[in-house]
A and B are shown apart, each in its own frame.
Chain A
Amino acid sequence: MSRFTPPEVARFFRPARAASFPAVALAGGLAFALALPITPAQANGEINIYSYRQPFLLKPLLDAYEDKTGTKANVVYAAKGLAQRLEAEGEQSPADVVLTVDISRLSVLADKDLFAPISSAEIEKNVPAQFRHPEGKWTALSLRARVIAISKKAGDADKLKHDEDLATPAWKGRLCTRPGSHVYNRALLASVIAAHGVEEATAWAKGVVGNLARKPQGHDRAQAKAIMEGQCDVAIMNSYYMGKMMTSDKAEQKDWANAVNLIFPNQGDRGTHVNISGGGIVKTSKNKDEATRLLAFLTSPEAQRIYAETNFEYPVNPAVKPSETVKSWGAFTKDKLSIEKIAELSPTAQKVIDQTGW
């Protein structure tokens, strides 16, 4: 209200006499927006992927695929909600393939009937049946073990042989984990529920929470870091993070890795809990042959070697050996539990997590 008709304002609006201000502004905004790319029509020789894995992790695999087949892969990466996006998009969805980490996400997609059955003799040959959906709605692409990291300085490492031991009083005030509700811990707890039932698993989770040296926080690398810093002696982490830290070009990450030894728990009994990364073909895809070809490629020895060498995961294809770094931790027996059981028990596991405050 300082100046009722500033001359420069009057000049600014004079040319727009015929149109109202909102119309002018709206036109301007739309012009801006139209300069942005609109839905890319899918060209021949392209495939569209919704991914729960970060693009920089997928890049070496997709580059290799493009080199081999000439097909270019387009990726939308998101950490949450891709299932709902697919569901809402329905017939109009541009997606052909979904790639995920964690079995629960694959199961959600299969349960919502968003996947088409995969029919590929190659995939059936490459991937053991244990790591494929019974009706072929998804296939695992790599395996990761949930292992225990223990400080090299801890003198009593021999007392820690099972996930169950994490709840014993020996580790009071010495344990670090990320929050229980993270998918990796939730899946681990689901495997404990499968082995012992809800009641015993709840008591176990209570024991774990009681042993914590600090509030659950950080990611898996941060747990090794906390051990190096002396905040705790024991942590739970996914196996491939160890490989990533060991080969990191950052000296500090190597220090974190060097501070710990890995324990593959439950070797005497049910075996170490493993989880998968995997993929499936979108039911509404108009490009199912290409999608099948991509998934088959991802299970092939060539791609499995990339999973093994660049991401330090365990190949799902038994014909391919783990990387040298991963081999140096020793061989281990995997939990034989059906991987789908983990997904099925996930909601129960989350309830236990809520009850115990993990």
Chain B
Amino acid sequence: MVDAALSSSGTTGGSRSRGPLSRVDAWSVGAVILAGLLLLPVAAVVYAASGSSGDLWAHLATTKLPLYVGNTLALMVGVGVVAAVFGVSSAWIVYRYDFFGREVLQWILLLPAAVPAYIVAYTLTDFLEYAGPVQGLVRDVGGFSSAREYWFPEIRSLGGAVLVMGAVLYPYVYVMARTAFSQTPSSLYEVAIISDRSVFRTVALPMARPAIVGGLTLVLMETVSDFGTVEYFAVETLTLGIFNVWIGMHSLAAAAQIALVGFVFILVLLTIEQRARAERRFTDPASRALPLPRQKLSPLGTLGAIVACLLPIGIGFILPVSVLVGFILEGSSLAPNATMLAAAQNSIMLAGGMAILVVAMSAYLGIVATYRGGRRLRLLTQIASVGYAFPGAILAIGAVTVGGAFDALSVRVLSGGLGIETGGWLSGSIGLVMIACAVRFKAIGYGAVGAGLARVPENMMHASRTLGRGFAESTRRVVVPLLWRALLAGALLVFVDVMKELPMTLLLRPFGFETLPTFVYQYAKDELLEEAALPALAILVTGIIPVVLMNATLERLNRR
């Protein structure tokens, strides 16, 4: 039964039987164009990198570059390990065990996804620094009167950055792992139980590995592109180096070249992910088996489970919320005003619009690449995710370059060629913010679509086509209904990501357009986050709604 349940397949592609050159496939052409458009801002960065950087590389190689690379790799490894441990262990605990509080924990585990990393960095520092409650206690207990009299770990450090980023990024792993655990046929778990082997190590972990690697890829892309946290903690990573070279040495070319170094790290990761997915494609068309019953935990086990789940939530959500609420209660925050409300409205509209656009785009690319494309198209649509690996400000420069070129061209054609007077369409419009967001967050939507498609039995499409339905109709009547919960989960992830997006919106937005993060940033930049505590809290609270929806979606998706 187990064998029958797993139809492993390395080869896909319904179009292959027709022969590659029989006719041009409009669906694939559309996918190539869309992926190409998504890659344009990245291409603009590559173009910027082709400029001369003089002797800067010789200078960098003998000074800071080894440090930048070393710190970036250490940060990636650290954040990867923390996110994997937090994400996988909590997912397994809420999947496998039945204990008091499980229902609540399984959704609040998603909450840190809504928190911008720099807010956690700021509030964790507030909590752990000299003037904070923890060190205050240390001084009271130890009878110390100055910082030089006792040792306390430096929060503004690589370790601090690992902890902060691990605590806000683990939900990507958690979502993927939890879904994978419940999608694994329970018959497999039963085999492990019957043969008295560790269910987690022999079945759950190996079966969930592609999903976990998928989640980790997103985590690491976000890690490489982070600026806010590493700047606040003064950890000299490649991203910090990019800005030192760009702003300090006035060399955008060298900055773009350093960004490409980070990009190479990500290409390696994407290749690994692609491998992980390709090797482990399986589906379970039978799926009649009952879900694996959860194990009841003892009171002590319950305590352990709750503590293990609360640790990441504590750092990634409870702490920042408490500190922000504290600021508001002590009266440090600005009172709500019209600008703040408009910013909140703009944030929600932008995040909502982008969630739909990004997921629609990802679904199109994913479905066409899976069912109509060959290896090369799948690779191209996958590569179109790389925008996520660039620091937002650098990607924004790419977007503004493309937008400016487009405007110049359209004005030349329309007013020069056709005599129609027109201004720029993209420059200084919300459209440019949306394009940049689409490029950056396509990876999130595509990840969710990919995970969903991997679970759609391939023979469903073939069966539908055999029954005489066209590709469009088969997609609509067979694939999309099987996929739509994965699409919803992807949309909600994109929503929370756009809600907290800062650097691209900051640079590209039109006049009079504030979002909650841009409003908060003008204060946070001067270490005055307390004055913007209310809008900062609004970012977190707005994130709760999609997170609750996402949890409900996952519940249904996981059918238990």
Contacts and interface: CB of A to CB of B under 8 A. Distances in A.
Interface of A: 1-2, 4-6, 9-10, 13, 16, 20-22, 25-26, 28-30, 32-33, 35-40, 48, 54-56, 74-82, 84-85, 87-95, 104, 108, 111, 179, 181, 183, 186, 214-219, 221-222, 225-226, 229-231, 250, 252, 346-347, 349-351, 353-355, 357
13 contacts: A1-B287, A21-B363, A32-B357, A38-B510, A84-B252, A88-B400, A89-B428, A91-B411, A91-B424, A108-B250, A222-B527, A229-B147, A350-B245
A81 B397 contact: yes
B511 A218 contact: no
B356 A29 contact: yes
B36 interface: no
Contacts of B431: 33, 38
Interface string B445-477: 000000000011100100000000000100111
A91 B408 contact: yes
Given A22-B363, A85-B400, A4 B482 contact: yes
A130 B477 CA distance: 73
Interface in B379-407: 393, 396-397, 400-401, 403-405, 407
Contacts of A216: 234
B427 interface: yes
Contacts of B481: 4-6, 9-10, 13
B271 to A, nearest CB: 28
Interface stretch (B89-97, B347-355, B542-550): B347-355
A244 to B, nearest CB: 9
Given A36-B513, A89-B428, A351-B63, 8 more contacts: A37-B430, A38-B430, A39-B424, A39-B428, A75-B511, A92-B428, A221-B527, A229-B131
Contacts of A183: 247-248
Interface string B122-155: 0000000011000000000000011110000010
A231 B407 contact: no
Interface in B304-322: none
B233 interface: yes
A279 to B, nearest CB: 17
B512 A347 contact: no
Nearest to A354: B63
B363 A25 contact: yes
B248 A353 contact: yes
Contacts of A217: 156, 233-234
B244 to A, nearest CB: 5
Size class of the contact patch on chain B: 35 or more
A231 B511 contact: no
Nearest to A46: B511
Contacts of B482: 1, 4
Residue among B245, B350, B427, B527 facing the most chain A CB atoms (10 A cut-off): B427
B560 to A, nearest CB: 10
A55 B339 CA distance: 11
A358 B484 CA distance: 52
B197 interface: no
A226 B63 CA distance: 29
Interface in B138-180: 145-148, 154, 156-157
Instruction: Rank and list the top 8 A-B pairs by shortest CB-CB distance, nearest first.
Output: A92-B424, A230-B146, A32-B353, A88-B404, A25-B360, A350-B248, A29-B357, A74-B511
Nearest to B522: A54
B250 A346 contact: yes
A81 B425 CA distance: 20
A231 B144 CA distance: 13
B400 A35 contact: no
B374 interface: no
Contact of A93 (B427, B434, B530): B427
A353 B59 CA distance: 11
Interface stretch (B99-107, B261-269, B501-509): B501-509
A18 B518 CA distance: 41
Contacts of B354: 29
A94 B527 CA distance: 31
Contacts of A20: 472, 475-476
B64 interface: yes
B400 A54 contact: no
B294 interface: no
A3 B165 CA distance: 37
Contacts of A219: 526-527
B475 A21 contact: yes
Interface in B249-304: 249-252, 283-285, 287
Contacts of A87: 404
A112 to B, nearest CB: 9
B375 to A, nearest CB: 23
Contacts of B457: 1
A16 B476 CA distance: 10
Contacts of A351: 59, 63, 249
B553 interface: no
A116 B130 CA distance: 49
A92 B527 contact: no
Residue among B146, B510, B511 facing the most chain A CB atoms (10 A cut-off): B511
Contacts of B424: 39, 89, 91-93
A80 B243 contact: yes
B59 A56 contact: no
A146 B519 CA distance: 28
Given A94-B428, A346-B248, A37 B147 contact: no
A92 B430 contact: no
A231 B148 contact: yes
Contacts of A40: 510-512
A226 B146 CA distance: 10
A75 B64 CA distance: 36
B559 A94 contact: no
A255 to B, nearest CB: 10
Contacts of B475: 20-21
Contact of A92 (B148, B364, B423, B476): B423
B60 interface: yes
Given A13-B480, A92-B411, A186-B248, A54 B525 contact: yes
Interface in B228-248: 233-234, 240, 243-248
Given A33-B357, A89-B407, A80 B507 contact: yes
B429 interface: yes
